[in-house]
Amino acid sequence: MYSGRMTTPERLIEATQELLWERGYVGTSPKAILERAGAGQGSMYHHFKGKPDLALAAIRRTAEQLRAAAELPLSTPGTAYARIEAYLLRERDVLRGCPIGRLTMDPDVIVSDELREPVDETLDWLRERVEGIVQEGLENGEFTASLDPRATAALIVATVQGGYVLARARNSAEAFDAAAQGLLALLRHAAA
């Protein structure tokens, strides 16, 4: 499953990322991690203090990857609307849900300040990044002055996260697409 060039810690982190996305924290057992990583018994404790330490490394890696994936469309040249549109319509595995957003529903992650921190930081980063783009659109006269950048950024992030939930509930990416298209229609209506 993993290339022979990956180190054992890398295989453990990647396996944990996948399992957290699929099963959540409680459903991700050390045995499942070792099996998925193709690592020997005791490998996890040789490289990490235990499951919480490995989970934290995996959540941080997932957060970095999510930020990088979001930054690509958000940093493309073009209008603020075009950049937001590119972010909303970027290719995603909608039916799997957001690997970070899903962790907010995991009680063991939420009660742990340490595990929750990279989740909070990532969602905060995304809201702030989108808020800056909306602010640019206001400053460039692209949106009407009545558009609140902070509230609009929160709406965009909530629409994406809610779109994942709706798509998973219906087992159809169309639910996500409808949410994104509805938000884009509102933003077009807010165009100056």
The overall average pLDDT reported for the chain is 94
Please say whether the beta carbons of 35 and 117 come within 8 A: no
Residue type, 51: K
Q: Look at residues 3, 2, 121, 8 and name the one whose alpha carbon lies nearest to residue 56.
A: 121
In order of their start, the domains of the chain are 8-189 (1.10.357.10)
What is the pLDDT at residue 41? 82
- Fill in the DSSP letter of residue 146: T
Write the pLDDT tens digit of every residue in 36-86: 999 988 888 889 999 999 999 999 999 999 999 999 999 999 999 999 999
- The residue whose two tokens read 């929750």 is 116
Please say whether the beta carbons of 141 and 82 come within 8 A: no
What is the pLDDT at residue 45? 86
Write the pLDDT tens digit of every residue in 81-131: 999 999 999 999 999 999 999 999 999 999 999 999 999 999 999 999 999
Query: How many residues belong to the chain?
Result: 192
